[in-house]
């Protein structure tokens, strides 16, 4: 993940030309600033405050950092010991300086506290997110931050990345992050947030959204697929209900999506088959059912497909076993009943695993009693016909869908997903 993170940061910062690569400031700048008032004129307050600092922004940052330092009572890596003196850019571990474009001043542009294990009785992010007014990123993976996220986050005019993963945040989703309109990276995994994830999150222009390993337990918002995120992980929560049909909206952007280990139910919407850029799709350990939609044969880039530990049934479609890039297809602990020659080939070479299903003639299957019990009361899908729809087939003529079933799909494969069009308005 570290790689994705720095890569995205690199892209953002280079593409946007947000900050010039320039941490050093010539001593003249300070000198010039100091003499602005003209010979002999008394120095005004703000100018006094900059004395010895590279800029007034750094003089302000100094106060903020020193106040924050008092709140860190546990610092096993002795990071805060470096927070002394006036040369923040050179000496202070965890603070990254850059020139902020609108002011053309050296400032604290980023915070990187990843893996610092900071703790304290009231260790909040507020001081820094309010006080460091030019922040572009705040990365604080693996600390013990707690409390709320200040709504002042909306005043950070260049704020791109927020990583609060593996901290001690709790309560409902931090709605304040919705004010950070430029955010491209939001990582809240490994906290103990509960309730739901608000629909508006999926309208932020994010590249990456990680909310896995919390206690979210509501239905996924219908707008889920409106997200332009490339990487979406919702795993290890308690989300209920179905996978929203809107997921097809993410066709041009979504690369990897993890629904793993929630309490999702219902059938897979055929719209998942529209995700032509996706390489990873994981719905393992849920309560999903129905057949594998035939649209899955359109997942031309799919590499890792995990359907394990659900209640899927019928055949494993040969066309899915023929996907060109598939290298791990896990279908264990379901109620599949058939595999054809192509799928058998994948079983033989270790790509497809169908352990604990109802496929007669294969080893390690469920008992006949188990299977009979399941099929005596087999759950059905509401949109049964759409399960046969193959959106990538030429002219879609080979399927027998009625127009009422296709209604929202006729639009789906071709049109610009909203994410893209909004995305054009923002720099990423």
In the complex, the residues that contact ligand NAG under the rule CB under 6 A are 29, 77-78, 104, 117, 119, 122, 124, 126-127, 142-144, 146, 166, 168, 170, 263, 265, 284, 287, 306, 328, 330, 379
- How many angstroms separate the CA atoms of 5 and 232, rounded? 14
Nearest to 189 by CA among 163, 160, 207: 163
CB 219 within 8 A of CB 198: no
Residue 27's Cβ-count burial label (10 Å; 0-12, 13-18, 19+) is exposed
Nearer to ligand NAG, 218 or 328 (CB): 328
- The residue (of 168 and 314) whose beta carbon lies closer to ligand NAG is 168
Are residues 180 and 137 in contact, defined by beta-carbon separation less than 8 angstroms? Answer: no
Residues 6+ apart with CB under 8 A from 284: 260, 261, 306, 307, 308, 309, 310, 330
101-114 CB burial, b ≥16 within 10 A, e <16: eeeebbbbbbbbbb
> DSSP 3-state helix, strand, coil percentages of the chain (rounded to 5)?
30, 20, 50
- The minimum distance between CB 417 and ligand NAG, in angstroms, equals 27
Alpha-helix runs per DSSP H in 51-124? 56-71, 88-91
For the bound state, the minimum distance from the C-beta of residue 412 to ligand NAG, rounded and expressed in Å, comes to: 27
Q: Rank residues 44 and 170 by Cβ distance to ligand NAG and give the closer one.
A: 170
* Residue 168 vs 399, nearer CB to ligand NAG: 168
Concatenate the DSSP letters of all residues of 370-419 into one string: HHHHHHHT----TTGGGGG--TTSGGGTTS---HHHHHHHHHSSSSPPHH
Order of strands across the sheet that contains 311-316: 240-241, 263-267, 287-290, 311-316, 335-339
Name which of 85, 79, 45 is nearest 61 in CA terms. Answer: 85
Cα gap 121→123, rounded to integer Å: 6
Shortest Å distance, C-beta 218 to ligand NAG: 14
Closer residue to ligand NAG, CB minimum distance, 78 or 403: 78
CB of 337 to ligand NAG, least distance (A): 19
State which residue, 170 or 408, has the beta carbon closest to ligand NAG. Answer: 170
> 219: which strand partners?
240
Question: Smallest gap, in angstroms, from Cβ of residue 88 to ligand NAG?
Answer: 17
**Alpha carbons 340 and 359: distance in angstroms, whole number:** 11
> DSSP label at 251?
T
Q: Pick between residue 77 and residue 373 the one whose CB is nearest to ligand NAG.
A: 77
CB of 19 to ligand NAG, least distance (A): 12
- Nearest distance from C-beta of residue 160 to ligand NAG, angstroms: 21
User: Among residues 30 and 396, whose Cβ is nearest to ligand NAG?
Assistant: 30
Dist. CA 121–CA 115, nearest whole Å: 18
Least spacing, CB of residue 224 vs ligand NAG, in Å: 20
**β-bridge partners, 195:** 216
Identify which of residues 143 and 233 has a Cβ nearer to ligand NAG in the complex: 143
Give whichever of 93 and 222 is closer to ligand NAG, judged by the CB atom. Answer: 93
Q: How far is the CB of 276 from ligand NAG (least distance, A)?
A: 21
What backbone phi and psi angles, to 5 degrees, belong to 155?
A: -90, -5
At its nearest, how many Å lie between ligand NAG and the CB of residue 4? 19
To the nearest whole angstrom, how small is the minimum distance from the Cβ of residue 104 to ligand NAG? 4
């Amino acid at each position: 993940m570290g790689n994705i993170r720095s890569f995205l940061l690199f892209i953002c910062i280079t593409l946007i030309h947000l900050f010039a690569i320039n941490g050093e400031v010539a001593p003249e700048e300070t000198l010039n600033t100091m003499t602005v008032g003209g010979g002999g004129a008394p120095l005004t307050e703000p100018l006094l405050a900059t004395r010895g600092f590279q800029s007034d922004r750094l003089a302000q940052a100094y106060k903020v950092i020193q106040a924050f330092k008092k709140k860190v009572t546990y610092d096993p890596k002795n990071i805060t010991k470096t927070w002394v003196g006036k040369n923040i850019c050179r000496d202070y571990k965890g603070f990254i300086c850059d020139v902020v474009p609108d002011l053309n001043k050296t400032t604290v542009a980023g915070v990187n506290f990843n893996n610092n294990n900071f703790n304290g009785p009231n260790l909040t992010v507020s001081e820094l997110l309010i006080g460091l007014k030019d922040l572009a990123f705040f990365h604080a993976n693996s600390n013990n931050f707690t409390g709320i996220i200040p709504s002042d986050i909306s005043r950070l005019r260049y704020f791109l990345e927020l990583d609060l993963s593996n901290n001690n945040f709790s309560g409902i989703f931090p709605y304040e992050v919705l004010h950070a309109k430029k955010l491209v990276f939001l990582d809240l995994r490994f906290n103990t947030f509960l309730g739901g994830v608000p629909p508006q999150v999926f309208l932020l222009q994010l590249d990456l959204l990680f909310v896995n390993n919390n206690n979210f337990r509501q239905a996924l918002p219908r707008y889920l697929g409106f997200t332009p995120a490339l990487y979406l992980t919702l795993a290890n929560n308690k989300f209920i209900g179905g996978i929203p049909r809107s997921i097809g909206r993410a066709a041009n952007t979504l690369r990897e999506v993890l629904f793993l280990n929630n309490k999702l139910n219902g059938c897979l919407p055929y719209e998942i088959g529209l995700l032509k850029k996706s390489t990873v799709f994981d719905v393992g350990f849920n309560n999903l059912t129905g057949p594998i939609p035939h649209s899955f044969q359109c997942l031309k880039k799919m590499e890792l497909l995990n359907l394990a530990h659900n209640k899927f049934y019928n055949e494993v479609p040969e066309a899915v076993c023929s996907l060109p890039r598939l290298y791990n297809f896990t279908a264990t602990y379901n109620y599949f009943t058939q595999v054809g020659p192509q799928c058998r080939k994948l079983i033989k070479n270790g790509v497809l695993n169908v352990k604990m299903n109802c496929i007669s003639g294969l080893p390690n299957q469920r008992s006949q009693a188990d299977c009979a019990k399941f099929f005596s009361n087999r759950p059905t899908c509401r949109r049964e016909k759409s399960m046969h729809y193959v959106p990538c087939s030429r002219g879609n003529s080979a399927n027998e869908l009625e127009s009422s079933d296709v209604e929202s799909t006729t639009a789906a494969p071709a049109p610009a997903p909203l994410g893209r069009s909004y995305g054009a308005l923002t720099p990423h």
